[in-house]
């Protein structure tokens, strides 16, 4: 199996890693132009999913190739608002998903990682 890394980060991780037919996207946060995007969970979810999409593109994938996501919300009260935005990125046949409530390393409301499947 061939493993290939895509993109770079200021921390020790690869934004996207292809391992065979699967692409793994590191947890994406609401950062744009190097700064945390201020706003509620809707605004931050929009930015995070745009970042997921951008990381997927680095590896030749798109949102429709995503088969699984892992979501961390900092407040379970944001779940409904998060779902409204999330649904716009996966309008049909959404991927499998796990969603948990937990603290995050920086002052943000949401982080999302993804796994995509796209045969070479």
Beta strands in 48-118 (DSSP E): 66-73, 96-101, 110-117
The yes-or-no verdict on residue 105 having pLDDT over 90 is no
Confidence class of residue 26 from pLDDT cuts 50, 70 and 90? Answer: very high
Provide the pLDDT for residue 1. 78
Count: domains in the chain = 1
Which CATH number covers residue 84? 3.30.1330.40
Does the model's pTM come out above 0.85? Answer: yes
Helix (H, G, I), strand (E, B) or coil at 48: helix
Give the containing element (helix H, strand E) for 86.
helix 79-89
Question: Residue 81 sits in which domain range?
Answer: 3-117
* pLDDT tens by residue, 40-98: 999 999 999 999 999 999 999 999 999 999 999 999 999 999 999 999 999 999 999 99
The yes-or-no verdict on residue 2 having pLDDT over 90 is no
């Amino acid at each position: 199996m061939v493993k290939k890394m895509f993109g770079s980060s200021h921390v020790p991780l690869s934004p996207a890693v292809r391992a065979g037919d699967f692409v793994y996207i590191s947890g994406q946060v609401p950062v744009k132009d190097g700064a945390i995007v201020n706003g509620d969970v809707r605004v931050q979810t929009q930015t995070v999913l745009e970042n997921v999409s951008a990381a997927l593109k680095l590896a030749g994938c798109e949102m429709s190739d995503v088969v699984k996501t892992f979501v961390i919300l900092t407040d379970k009260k944001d779940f409904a608002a998060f779902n409204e935005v999330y649904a716009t990125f996966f309008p049909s046949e959404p991927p499998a998903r796990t969603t948990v409530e937990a603290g995050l390393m920086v002052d943000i409301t949401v982080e999302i990682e993804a796994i995509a499947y796209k045969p070479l």
